[in-house]
Amino acid sequence: MLRLGLYILIGFAGSSTALAGAAIEAFVTATLVDGRPVAPIGQVFRCSDKIYAVIDVSGLADGDHVLNVDWIDPSGKRREQTVYEFNRSGGIRITVWLKLHAPSGASLLSAFNPALGMGEFIGPWEIRMTVDRSSTAYRNFEVLC
């Protein structure tokens, strides 16, 4: 079972990956400082981590926009998707997160083997972030137990 969340921070200046209109810059982290995700040192996470994707979108024209975030697992399957509709011009910071959960019954034995029941989550992941079906950014990370 996966848990996915979303929260929004308004106001951003800066950009990087631009294809048409909006620009997307993002980082993936499990580190919080004062309750906020901060840029990581590495891109390898444990099965027990809450994994955050912090997405800065800039260059938005005034109006309605849609952010799609796809979490692609090691098998290439879209494991989770977030669709966030917003009305904004300029920039916005959006944070989504993924929490991996072992199947029921595996949690008692996971104290001895954290990877128990988590095999399908172990390996390289990709996050695909798209704004208004035109600007796309990709970030990669790895899950090890």
Is residue 8's pLDDT more than 60?
no
* Residue range 74-87, pLDDT digits in tens: 999 999 999 999 99
For position 15, what pLDDT does the model report? Answer: 34
Number of domains forming the structure of the chain: 1
Q: Please report, for the domain that includes residue 74, its CATH number.
A: 2.60.40.1930
In 3D, which of 145, 140, 137, 114 has the Cα closest to residue 43? 140
Q: Which residues are registered as beta bridge partners of 131?
A: 67, 135
Distance CA 143, CA 132 (A): 29
> Is 0.85 topped by the overall pTM?
no
For position 145, what pLDDT does the model report? Answer: 82
Is residue 17's pLDDT more than 70?
no
Backbone angles phi, psi at 121, to 5 degrees: -95, -15
> Which range marks the domain in which residue 129 is found?
2-143
